[in-house]
Amino acid sequence: MKDRKYYVQFDFVRILSAMAVAMTFHYGIVFGVRPLSGNIVMDGLYQYAGYVTELFFMISGFFSQESMGDRLAKGEIGFADYFWKKIKRLYPEMIISVIAMAAAQWIHFRKFHSYAVLDVYDGRNGFVAFVASLFGVNSGWFSEMDQRSINGPTWYISVLIICYLWFFFINRILRNKKQLILLSYIGMVILGCTLYIKPLAFPLLYYSCSRGYFNFFLGALISKLKRQNTKVGNNLLTLFGVSMVIGYWMMYKTASEAFRPLLFTFFVCGGLFVAFVFIDEKWVGWMRYIPLLRELGAISFGIYLWNIPTFAWVKLIEHFWGVQISYENDMTWLCIGVLNIILAVISNRLFEKRG
């Protein structure tokens, strides 16, 4: 099989996106404070960085089409082989993070009669959520977002598996009917957009599914578009992507609060993704010389997956020792971020590298 082209810019996007979600959006929700805030960039990240997850879906859809789309359509890959590769890559690290999160939450509850973080009683910290999270069916299948995710970020894996399954069946059922496959991708994007606005409380049609469908299949569509484009077309699309990001900031104040997440997803995440996919190699080639960039890209999944378990264990240790940690302190924020990176590196070496 032909090796997949290496897009150095996506490692850059992955690590920045993972750190943004972990150390602004999730940090602010868990600890209720916002270190380094007070400027337009950090304030925006604390509010909307949770939607940067959309970039992960886009990248997954893009590379799924790049590496497997044609082979699936030709019948070269069976379901067992296709699905097992996904499970082998995603599940070991996910399962360990779920166990680590459950341990911190339940130990804290037994000792202090409250959960270490996200002290809510909507079911996410219960045994059913634990089992659902272990099997990767905690979001999009039978429940919305992270209501059955004992480790919140694992909702993404649950919905990603759903997207992988749709991707497989679309390509295998339609085989080499390229136009029908293309229309099916467009249909999934439209379905995702519709569910963004009006989600249904029904399996595979929840709001969490909308985020997966829209962005995963948009990434797959962009992969198909890239193959057919000329250099001039690539440059125009790069400018178009940048214009989308600028356009969002121009529309932000006039847009209603209800539509801002969708606008952020389409214009900011979509615009950045388009710009990075079609950008000329000469503009990003310098990234190849950044030490450890590829390694940082590799641990981005771990950073995203381990940040809330990291926060939970920090809280548990704080309460066991009877100390008071100032979470709004910039140095505390930095130290917890470094700890998250260390855990992501260990997790990557133990599970992703070996898998």
- Contacts of residue 234, defined as CB under 8 A and 6 or more positions apart, other chains included, come to 226, 278, 279, 280
Sorting pLDDT into bands at 50, 70 and 90, what band is 228?
Answer: confident
Nearest CA-CA partner of 149 in 251, 236, 53, 239: 53
**Neighbouring C-alpha atoms within 13 Å toward the C-beta of 119:** 11
Q: Give the residue-averaged pLDDT of 242-250.
A: 85
Task: Please report the pLDDT score of residue 353 as a whole number.
Answer: 60
The structure tokens listed for 112 are: 């202090």
Task: State the Cα–Cα distance between residues 252 and 71, nearest whole angstrom.
Answer: 42
Residues of the chain with pLDDT > 70, as a percent, come to: 97
The string of pLDDT tens digits covering residues 193-221 is 999 889 999 999 999 999 999 999 999 99
Task: State the Cα–Cα distance between residues 338 and 336, nearest whole angstrom.
Answer: 5
Query: pLDDT: is 130 or 254 the higher one?
Result: 130
Q: pLDDT averaged over the chain? A: 90
3-state secondary structure the chain: CCCCCCCHHHHHHHHHHHHHHHHHHHHHHHHCCCCCCCCHHHHHHHHHHHHHHHHHHHHHHHHHHHHHHHHHHCCCCCHHHHHHHHHHHHHHHHHHHHHHHHHHHHHHHHHHCCCCCCCCCCCCCCHHHHHHHHCCCCCCCCCCCCCCCCCHHHHHHHHHHHHHHHHHHHHHHHCCCHHHHHHHHHHHHHHHHHHHHCCCCCCCCCHHHHHHHHHHHHHHHHHHHHHCCCHHHHHHHHHHHHHHHHHHHHHCCCCCCCCHHHHHHHHHHHHHHHHHHHCCHHHHHHHHHCCCHHHHHHCHHHHHHHHHHHHHHHHHHHHHHCCCCCCCCHHHHHHHHHHHHHHHHHHHHHHHCCC
**Whether pLDDT at 2 is above 50:** no
Sorting pLDDT into bands at 50, 70 and 90, what band is 189?
Answer: very high
Sorting pLDDT into bands at 50, 70 and 90, what band is 16?
Answer: very high
Q: Give the residue-averaged pLDDT of 251-265.
A: 74
For the chain, the domains span: 8-352
Task: Please report the pLDDT score of residue 225 as a whole number.
Answer: 87
The string of pLDDT tens digits covering residues 46-62 is 988 998 999 999 999 99
Alpha-carbon distances, residue 94 vs 8, 20, 30, 152 (angstroms)? 25, 20, 20, 11
User: What is the number of other CB atoms lying within 10 angstroms of the CB of residue 32?
Assistant: 9
Sorting pLDDT into bands at 50, 70 and 90, what band is 247?
Answer: confident
The string of pLDDT tens digits covering residues 265-323 is 888 888 999 998 988 887 887 787 787 888 889 999 999 999 999 999 999 999 999 99
Place of tokens 């940090």: 27
Answer yes or no: are the C-beta atoms of 104 and 113 closer than 8 Å.
no
**Whether pLDDT at 17 is above 90:** yes
Sorting pLDDT into bands at 50, 70 and 90, what band is 1?
Answer: very low
The string of pLDDT tens digits covering residues 91-127 is 999 999 999 999 999 999 999 999 999 887 778 999 9
Q: For the packed helices 53-64 and 207-227, what is the interaxial angle rounded to 10 degrees? A: 50
